Structure formats: structure tokens, C-alpha cells
Amino acid sequence: MNKVYDNKAWLLILPMLALVSFSAIIPLMTVVNYSVQDVFDANTRFFTGTEWFTQMLNDPTLQSALLRQFAFSLTVLAIEVPLGIGIALIMPKKGWQASAVLILVTLPLLIPWNVVGSIWQIFTRGDIGLMGWGLRELGYGYNITRSAVDAWGTIILMDVWHWTPLIALLCYSGLRSIPEAYYQAARIDRASKWSVFRYIQLPKLTNVLVIGVLLRFMHSFMIYAEPFVLTGGGPGSSTTFLSQSLTTMAIGQQDLGPSAAFSLIYFLIILLVSWVFYTAIMNMQKDKEEGV
């Protein structure tokens, strides 16, 4: 068949392109603009080229914040994904129990970030917080303002509490969409519970899990409000993540050039990791011997 090449349809995406320009491309370009200049005041500025980028990449504070950030994101993913799948598997499937559990599981997702930070701030206080007081009564010298381990543990616990429900909900919807015949066939094939999970449920969850992991990675990699309210980045800088370093630099010190360069690097890292992850998963699903 002869294909006629007619590219007029591209014109149809023009309105969308205009919208995206306003919402994303233009703001992004202003950041690019700042990142290559040193701005003193409205009339005085110098072109700096890649100087800010080099400086940011070699900054030991930011390097350690980046490592901390990766450690945090990977830890919460490693906990939240299996836990979310587990919760989804044991959630009731019908009747009023299903609705009740669904609401209970969803609740943490509805709480604003700052409020979550405040809740946990109070929760972990040694004098009136249930957890802080309880742990001390049990003989553990729990103190998030002194011990980096306590601070880390608490932030991870908080994130798990806040965001595991997202994974659980996504998996729950994924599980519900598996036709009953799959389970029936598995029973007839004498599959074990583990096999049912491994060969029916998990494969059917791949798509929702890709979305879940991507969302959670991006989210956790950009985390700001919760640790800021809970620990303020301390003790020392043990819980200072990338966003907080950036805010300190951009707002606190008004270093527009370096923070713009830093923002772009930050953005590119998230983009790169997400792309690598997505491509890897999509390749896994392909036939190894396509076309045989």
C-alpha cells in the first residue's frame, strides 16, 4: 500500500504546544537564563557560561545531600513497594469491609505535607508525643534532635505512613482487574499461592507498579516540607535533602545563578533516573526473540 505523507495533522497540536510553553518551557528557560549569568542587580549582569554548573557539581555539601537523597528515595521505595503490595493483597475485596478499609487506607494521602510534618513533630516529642514518650518509657533514649539515626528512622517511618497507601491503592485496583478465570485456571493447574502471586498477580500489577514507583521516586526525591517541619534538616545536616539545600541557597542566600544551575541538574537527574527505570521495565516485557 502506498502511504501518503501528510503532516498537516501536526498543526492540531499547536494549541497544546502554546499551553505547554506557558506552563513549562518559558519558566524553565528563565531558569536556564539565570544559570548562565551572574546577576548583581536589575542592570548589572555577567555571562558566566558553565561556571555555576561546575561549581555546583563540585560542591561537597551538595554532593553529600545528593547521596543522602538517593539513600532516602531508595530506602522508602524498598519499603513502600513490597508493603503496599502486601496491604493490597490482604485488603477485603467486597462488602462494607472493603469500603471501610479503603477509606482508612486512603486517609494519610489526604493530609497536607506540612500537617504531616507537624503531626509527626508532636507525635515524636519526648514530653507529650505518644511515640517519643512511649519509646522513652520503654527505656530507649529516643531523640530526633540529637540522634541522626532516630531522625532518619522517623522520617522514613513518616514517609512510609504517608505514601504506602498510594502504592496499596494502585495495586488494589490492579488486583481487582484480574478476571476470576485466572484464579480458577491456577487452581485447576494446582498452582501454589506463591505461584499465583508470582505468575498471575505480579505480572498483572507491572503497569500500576511502574506508575507507582515512578511517582514515589519523583515525590520522594523532591521531598521538602515533611522533613523540614519535623527535623529542620538536622541534627547537623544529617537529614538535609536536596530541596532544602536548594531553598536555603535560592531564598536564604539569594544566590540565583548557582541555584538555577543546581535546579537544572536536579531536574535532569530526576528525568534521567525515571527514563532509565521506565525503559528498563518496558524492555523486560518484550520478547527476547521477537520475530522468531
Q: What is the binding site for another protein (CB under 8 A)?
A: 179, 181-182, 184-185, 187-192, 195, 199-200, 203-204, 285, 287-289, 292
CA-based torsion, 132, 137, 143, 147: positive or negative: negative
Ramachandran angles phi, psi of 145, nearest 5°: -90, -15
Closest separation in Å from C-beta 198 to another protein: 9
Residue placing its CB nearer to another protein in the complex, 41 or 287: 287
Closest separation in Å from C-beta 80 to another protein: 23
Closest separation in Å from C-beta 103 to another protein: 27
Closest separation in Å from C-beta 184 to another protein: 5
Residue placing its CB nearer to another protein in the complex, 12 or 181: 181
Residue placing its CB nearer to another protein in the complex, 30 or 184: 184
Residue placing its CB nearer to another protein in the complex, 33 or 177: 177
Closest separation in Å from C-beta 212 to another protein: 18
Residue placing its CB nearer to another protein in the complex, 97 or 184: 184
